[in-house]
Structure 1
């Protein structure tokens, strides 16, 4: 259920736009919101999104497939015993957020969202104002200490118990120069055995030309992207035991119905997988 404060903010949208926000340079979080059919984006975002969709119309389906993967992964992790989540790069709130999915199964599940996009944080603060078991932290994935030591994180999450670390559509915005594997290792070292990580990532393995054009367009945004190969994506799970069905295209990861996969799962343009921390 959406709380009244959040609903009121949607009526007068000017009230939720953070001060000093860059309205000229497109943001990946707001582009993603546009692909999902949201309204929390600006003219510059919509202009770039239309260019992206012109060269790769399947990107909208990719966003929807990523959202569906998140839903299935959260349900899988709850079934595996996870009762607390750290959702990094959560983006602008939309239908089916992590705490909503998980708390349908257990209302006591705790969720900390993390994002560095001001609009995403502003909306999350409104949405979560009446949620005692969910918080938002404004921080960047590349600053593990800023995420892990944040007051909200420490208040809600018990790092002596397993945690579900969610990194959906995040790591393709972290270039090799920023050493994403090393950063991810810092998070892994903070987790208790039995914790899990769920990651999705854009790839150009099967449609390199489309992804090349998309990457060129995203280079003009606040968040340039870097597609990675299957081997590069798999390497991000170092220290984790990848659970079945392994590294697959988004629609292939534990589909709710066989017909949800379709004849061309590679058109999702993204891989997804879940790993378990054994020791």
Structure 2
């Protein structure tokens, strides 16, 4: 079978693709730079990307909570099933009503499905928009002082790859993936500081100041405003609990933030 991995160059997608390739499975990366190319905003690219595909990892950029995401995921899911895709794995967001609407689309598609519903990625600190602030020693975000069970993208990829490969027991499952404990952003900054051996602090800023700073560093305004809305909307305590998705899916504990910080200390320097 051929497995399409959307966002195949992103945080979770490239990890999923690597794991499937290591199993000897045929993988097609869905990205603008791939051949055939895939872009969420250009539906004309979808049919070629789906040709001959029997399973797909569906990750939406920038996030399922963004405007237009539901319509895109619904249209893609319907096309995928018409094109012969029999298995869908959706990367979803924990505590996001908009994301759960997309989940229902996948669940009602007629294909075999698995939902991986995730909290904030640890890798946002090491590969994403928080990396440069960590290197500078000040993480300035419009996030409240509430704990979050940060999840390792490697755990997400392990679960998604197992479901896509057809390992038993994952069809029809909704996995809430979190780390094994809760941390506020201030506590996460302290653990990053301990890993790199220099100060890293968290400071709370207004949504307006965050958007202005992100735009000044090259982030498109629409994306910056969407991220700000996620920080102020989702980080309100609704996800301040640890879920059992990783051990339930993989039979092992979720990776801890301290191990992530130590393993990625070289990036923060």
Task: State the TM-score bracket (shorter-chain normalisation).
Answer: 0.3 to 0.5
TM-score (norm 2): 0.38
- TM-score (norm. length: structure 1): 0.37
